[in-house]
A and B are shown apart, each in its own frame.
Chain A
Amino acid sequence: GAVVSQHPSWVICKSGTSVKIECRSLDFQATTMFWYRQFPKQSLMLMATSNEGSKATYEQGVEKDKFLINHASLTLSTLTVTSAHPEDSSFYICSASGTSGSGDTQYFGPGTRLTVL
């Protein structure tokens, strides 16, 4: 139980284009989803928290107009990196918490490696 999928697993795009990443909870309802960014050999940095049907709450320093988050259903959240630039290249990981296990536990997706040329 508590499986979270993410798609795509990797993507390469040209500078200036937009990229959409999907995060799905497969066997439970995710009332809250989180988006993290992880640079090589570093910790996970929380970008934003989204509750189903509400606007996402962004962490300080994260541009909400650049990283668009949608959490339209209890099993799907999307992160769109708009006008991507090489400095946006990173490992993006989502997590979900909700009806599986305790409400506190976050279950992570496999991550999406974004490379912007």
Chain B
Amino acid sequence: GENVEQHPSTLSVQEGDSAVIKCTYSDSASNYFPWYKQELGKRPQLIIDIRSNVGEKKDQRIAVTLNKTAKHFSLHITETQPEDSAVYFCAASTSGTYKYIFGTGTRLKVLA
């Protein structure tokens, strides 16, 4: 069935360094890839998304890249800050179903 793998499961970086989280999806029909940030006990918040007709998208310190051929997409956070500490989830969706398949999550810890 459809599957999204996410790595790493935990990631610790020093404040100011960059963090990269990678996801791989299995369904070649997937065409929408959102990233969510979830703080403990709170709702997932959309931080950035990308569609299959675009290879890269950037929003200030956050960027997402997509390699359709390899079915890979990655989240890049630059100049990390302690408030970036949270769990990050990637997801893949297919237009028409609007159903998300979530990755397993990455717990990011930014050390001050």
Same complex origin of A and B: yes
* CB <8 Å contact, B89 and A111: no
Whether the pair A106, B43 counts as a contact (CB closer than 8 A) is: no
Binding-face segment, A63-71, A72-80, A97-105: A97-105
Query: When chains A and B are docked, how far (Å) is the Cα of A113 from the Cα of B44?
Result: 15
Q: Let me know if B34 and A43 touch, CB within 8 A.
A: no
Which one of B36, B43, B100, B104 contacts A111 once the chains associate, using CB atoms below 8 Å?
B43
Tell me which residues across on chain A come within 8 A of B98, comparing CB atoms: 32, 49, 97, 103-104, 106
Partner of B99, one of A45, A49, A113: A49
**CB pair B43 A104 closer than 8 Å:** no
A: contact size bracket: 20 to 34
The docked-state distance in angstroms from the alpha carbon of A109 to that of B42 is 9
Which residue numbers of B lie inside 8 Å of A, CB to CB? 32, 34, 36, 41-46, 49, 89, 93, 95, 98-100, 102-105
A residues near B, CB below 8 A?
4, 32, 34, 42-46, 49, 91, 93, 97, 102-111, 113
